[in-house]
Amino acid sequence: MITGTPGQQLQRIKIFDTTMRDGEQSPGCSMNLEEKLRIAEYLDGMGVDVMEAGFPIASVGDFEAVSEVSKVVKNAKVAGLARSGRKDIERAWEALKHAKQPRIHTFISTSPLHMQHKLQMTPEQVHSAIIDSVSHARNLCDDVEWSPEDGTRTERDFLCRCVESAIKAGASTINIPDTVGYTMPDEFFDIISALCNRVPNIDKAIISVHCHNDLGLAVANTLSAIRAGARQAECTINGIGERAGNASLEEIVMGLKVRQDLMPFDTSIVTKKIIGASRLLSSVTGFAVQPNKAIVGANAFAHEAGIHQDGVLKHAGTYEIMTPESVGLTQSSLVLGKHSGRHAFRDKLEQLGCQLGDNAIQEAFVRFKALADKKKDVYDEDIIALVKDEMTHAAESIKFSTLHVIAGSTGPQKAYLEMEIDGVICSQESTGDGPVDATFNAISEIVPHSARLQLYQVHAVTEGTDAQAQVTVRLEEDGKTVNGQGADTDTLVASAKAYINALNKLADKRSKTAPEMLSA
C-alpha cells in the first residue's frame, strides 16, 4: 500500500477535464461556442493538464468548439474525441490542428458485450481496428490517447493484449474507462495493477482512468486506480456527465490534497478556483449543484448543529478537514452601494476576476447603478450575476426590451412585452395561465417556434426578498436541447430574458446540423 511520509517527493497526477465532452453528454447540458470558450479559458487558468473540448465529428457545433478552443487555450493540451474510423480521426485532427498542444483521443469498445452487440465485430477485428486507428492518429498528431470503451468489463488477457498493441502503434496515454460505473474500488485496483505488471511496454505510456458514477463510486475508483499506478485522472466539474455523471474534478483534487498522508500525489490545479469553476458551469448549464455535494455544495462548509458551531469557533479543524478559502469560498461581502463610483466598481470587477473591455465596464456600471437603486445591499454575487447577464445577452439578435405584467389572484394574467429583433422593435400583449405563462406566450407570438419547454428554474442569487433572480429555461426542438439564462431583480423580467436567450441559442443550433448520429 502506498502511503505518504512527511518531506516525501510528491508525484504529479495529470488532470484531464472532460466537462466539455463527456459532461456535455448529460441530457440538457449542451453548451454553445461562447460558453465553451468561457469554460475553456477558466479551466486553462485553473491549471488542468488536458481539456477534452468535444467530439468533432458529432456535429458542426462540436467541430467549431474544438477548433476555437484549440486557438485560445494557452497552457493545457486540447483533446478531441474520435471513434476508430479514419474519417472520425481526420475530423478530430482538422479541429485540433491549431492547438499549441493537440491530442487525439480515439476509442473502441473491447468488452464481449459491446463487441458483440454494439459493434458486431469479432475480437480480432477490434484488435486490428485499434492498430489501424492509433497508427493513423499518430501519423497526424504526436500525442495520441487510446481508450478501450467498457474497459472494466473487458476480458483481462484481451485488455492487456489491446493495450500493448495500442502502445506499440503509438499511443502515449492509455485510458481505462469504467464506462458503465460498474467496478468496485478493489477490483479497479487489480485491473490497473495487472496492466502495470503484465503489459511489457506499459512504461512507454501513462495510465489514465475515466470513471462513471452509476454506483456512486467514480471518485473512489479513481483514487484506487491512482494508488495502483494510474497517473492521469479524467473528470468533470461538478461531476456532470452521461447518466449519473463522471468522477468529479473537485473531489479528486481535494481528496489528493487533503490526504497526502496516505497518498503522496499532487496536481497542478489552483484549488482556489474550484468554486468559481463550479459556479460558472452551473450558470452555463442551468444544472444546480445539490446542496450537500462534497466541496462545492452550498452546505459543504455550513455548520448547523450548535455543538459543531461551537467546535468550529474554538478550532476550525474540529469539523472542517479543509478550509473554505482553499477551494475559493469567501464570505459574501457587501460591496458597493448606490453612491459608489466608477473607480470602485472597476476595482471590484478586477478583484472578482471579471475581465471586461472599457465599453462593457461602462455598460455594466450603468446596470450596477440601476441595481443599487432597486436593491438595498449589493453583494459580490450580485455583481457576478450582473456581469454574466451582460455577457450572455450582448450578442443576441433577439433582445429583450421591456415587460409590463398584470398578475394576481383574479385573472386573466396579462403580459405586455417589447422585444428587439435585428434592430426592429416588436410588441405583443398576451394572456396566460399565470404571469410567467402570459410572458412566454407573448414571446412565442412574436417568435413562433416548435420548441418544447423542458425546464423552468428560478434561483435567488443572494438572500432577501430584493435578491436578483437567476432563471434557467431549457427548450427542446428536434432532439436538440438548449439552456437560456436571465438575471434581474424582477423574476418575470429574468424569465423573459432566459426564454429569449434560449431561443437565440436554438436559432444558432438550427444553422448547424449533425452529420452523423453517435453512440459513444
User: What is the widest separation between alpha-carbon atoms in the chain?
Assistant: 77
For residue 85 the three cell numbers come to 474510423
Instruction: For the CB of residue 128, give the shortest distance to ligand KIV in the complex, in Å.
Output: 20
Query: Could you give the CA distance from residue 513 to residue 57 in angstroms, rounded to a whole number?
Result: 11
Neighbours of 185 (CB within 10 A): 18
Stretch that binds Zn ion, among 14-22, 93-101, 337-345, 478-486 (CB under 5 A): 14-22
Among 84, 111, 152, 179, binds ligand KIV (CB under 6 A): 179
Query: Could you give the CA distance from residue 164 to residue 160 in angstroms, rounded to a whole number?
Result: 6
HSE-up of residue 28 (Cα within 13 Å, Cβ side):
20
Q: Hey, which residues does 431 pair with through a beta bridge?
A: 414
Instruction: For the CB of residue 37, give the shortest distance to ligand KIV in the complex, in Å.
Output: 22
Instruction: For the CB of residue 149, give the shortest distance to ligand KIV in the complex, in Å.
Output: 4
Q: Does 147 bind ligand KIV (CB under 6 A)?
A: yes
In sequence order, what are the residues at sequence separation of 6 or more whose Cβ sits closer than 8 angstroms to the Cβ of residue 362? none
Counting residues that bind ligand KIV (by CB under 6 A) gives: 9
Q: In terms of CB distance, is 22 or 88 closer to Zn ion?
A: 22
Considering only residues 81 to 110 of the shown chain, the ones binding ligand KIV according to CB under 6 A are 107
Query: Which position has the grid cell 496536481?
Result: 267
SS3 505: helix
Query: Could you give the CA distance from residue 345 to residue 354 in angstroms, rounded to a whole number?
Result: 11
Q: In terms of CB distance, is 208 or 430 closer to Zn ion?
A: 208
For residue 225 the three cell numbers come to 486506480
Query: Which position has the grid cell 481528496?
Result: 255
Q: In terms of CB distance, is 151 or 170 closer to Zn ion?
A: 151
Q: In terms of CB distance, is 179 or 501 closer to ligand KIV?
A: 179
Burial (0-12, 13-18, 19+ Cβ within 10 Å), 82: buried
Q: Hey, which residues does 405 pair with through a beta bridge?
A: 415
Considering only residues 362 to 421 of the shown chain, the ones binding Zn ion according to CB under 5 A are none
Q: In terms of CB distance, is 175 or 271 closer to ligand KIV?
A: 175
Counting residues that bind Zn ion (by CB under 5 A) gives: 1
Q: In terms of CB distance, is 105 or 279 closer to ligand KIV?
A: 105
Query: Could you give the CA distance from residue 430 to residue 412 in angstroms, rounded to a whole number?
Result: 10
Q: Does 239 bind ligand KIV (CB under 6 A)?
A: no
Among 17, 35, 44, 149, binds ligand KIV (CB under 6 A): 149
Instruction: For the CB of residue 485, give the shortest distance to ligand KIV in the complex, in Å.
Output: 27
107 binds, among ligand KIV, Zn ion, none (CB under 5 to 8 A by kind): ligand KIV
Q: Does 154 bind ligand KIV (CB under 6 A)?
A: no
Stretch that binds Zn ion, among 21-29, 111-119, 274-282, 319-327 (CB under 5 A): 21-29
E strands present in 305-359: 334-336
Q: Does 520 bind ligand KIV (CB under 6 A)?
A: yes
Direct distance between the N- and C-terminal alpha carbons of the chain, in angstroms, rounded to an integer: 35
Considering only residues 459 to 488 of the shown chain, the ones binding ligand KIV according to CB under 6 A are none
Residue whose CB is nearest to ligand KIV in the complex, by number:
177
252 binds, among Zn ion, ligand KIV, none (CB under 5 to 8 A by kind): none
110 binds, among Zn ion, ligand KIV, none (CB under 5 to 8 A by kind): none
147 binds, among ligand KIV, Zn ion, none (CB under 5 to 8 A by kind): ligand KIV
- What mask, x for binding ligand KIV by CB under 6 A, covers residues 13 to 52? ---------x------------------------------
Residue 324 Cα distances to 151, 219, 235, 336, 447, angstroms: 37, 21, 22, 24, 45
For residue 215 the three cell numbers come to 454506483
Instruction: For the CB of residue 22, give the shortest distance to Zn ion in the complex, in Å.
Output: 4
Residue 256 Cα distances to 173, 220, 335, 480, 490, angstroms: 21, 11, 35, 38, 43
For residue 509 the three cell numbers come to 443550433
SS3 336: strand
Q: What are phi and psi of 234, to 5 degrees?
A: -95, 135
Q: In terms of CB distance, is 45 or 123 closer to ligand KIV?
A: 123
Residue 67 Cα distances to 64, 82, 350, angstroms: 5, 14, 29
400 binds, among ligand KIV, Zn ion, none (CB under 5 to 8 A by kind): none
224 binds, among ligand KIV, Zn ion, none (CB under 5 to 8 A by kind): none
Among 127, 210, 393, 480, binds ligand KIV (CB under 6 A): 210
Q: In terms of CB distance, is 19 or 470 closer to Zn ion?
A: 19
Q: Does 379 bind ligand KIV (CB under 6 A)?
A: no
Q: Does 22 bind Zn ion (CB under 5 A)?
A: yes
Q: In terms of CB distance, is 110 or 439 closer to Zn ion?
A: 110
Q: Does 145 bind Zn ion (CB under 5 A)?
A: no
Instruction: For the CB of residue 106, give the shortest distance to Zn ion in the complex, in Å.
Output: 14
HSE-up of residue 16 (Cα within 13 Å, Cβ side):
29
Q: What are phi and psi of 408, to 5 degrees?
A: 130, 180
Amino acid at 307: I
Helix (H) or strand (E) holding 253: helix 249-258
Residues that bind ligand KIV (CB under 6 A): 22, 107, 147, 149, 177, 179, 210, 212, 520
Residues that bind Zn ion (CB under 5 A): 22
